[in-house]
Amino acid sequence: EVQLVESGGGLVQPGGSLRLSCAASGFTFSDSGMSWVRQAPGKGLEWISSITGSGDGTYYADSVKGRFTVFRDNSKNTLFLQMNSLRADDTAIYHCGKHWDCWGRGTLVTVSS
């Protein structure tokens, strides 16, 4: 059974940093592109980043480009999202997904002073 479990969310001050993790199991992790999407309170789903199976290709939404970095450790079946220079409008539930058929329940990131 494919499972994706996000962790690392929490409360952080504006300008701060946070690293999200996504532990994957039940499939060949290195064969699958992965993505992060988020849902801010009262808003719809927003794609924010994707990475190829090998990790050599990364893509970002304009809203996070230059602030967020996606990377993966295929030896540990784990996807990461390093989030820097966080802003209040980054407050959201962040979901990781295996292209495109399986998604995690998400981890909540709250950016507030």
Partner 1 sequence: QSVLTQPPSASGTPGQRVTISCSGSSSNIGRKPVRWFQHLPGTAPKFLIYNNTQRPSGVPDRFSGSKSGTSASLAISGLQSEDEADYYCAAWDDNLNGHVFGTGTKVTVL
Task: Kindly tell me which of 82 and 93 has the beta carbon lying closer to partner 1.
Answer: 93
Shortest distance, position 22 Cβ to partner 1, whole Å: 12
SS3 78: strand
Shortest distance, position 96 Cβ to partner 1, whole Å: 10
Task: Kindly tell me which of 7 and 13 has the beta carbon lying closer to partner 1.
Answer: 7
Task: Kindly tell me which of 32 and 35 has the beta carbon lying closer to partner 1.
Answer: 35
| Strand 34-39 versus strand 68-73 pairing type | unpaired
Task: Kindly tell me which of 56 and 62 has the beta carbon lying closer to partner 1.
Answer: 62
Cβ-Cβ contacts under 8 Å for 48 (sequence gap 6 or more) = 36, 37, 38, 60, 61, 63, 64, 68, 81, 94
Give contact residues for partner 1 (rule: CB under 8 A): 4, 35, 37, 39, 44-47, 50, 59-62, 93, 95, 97, 100-106
Dihedral angle computed from the Cα positions of residues 9, 35, 17 and 65, in that order, rounded to the nearest 10 degrees? -150
Residue 58: both structure tokens together: 């990364």
Shortest distance, position 32 Cβ to partner 1, whole Å: 13
Shortest distance, position 29 Cβ to partner 1, whole Å: 18
CB 2 within 8 A of CB 27: yes
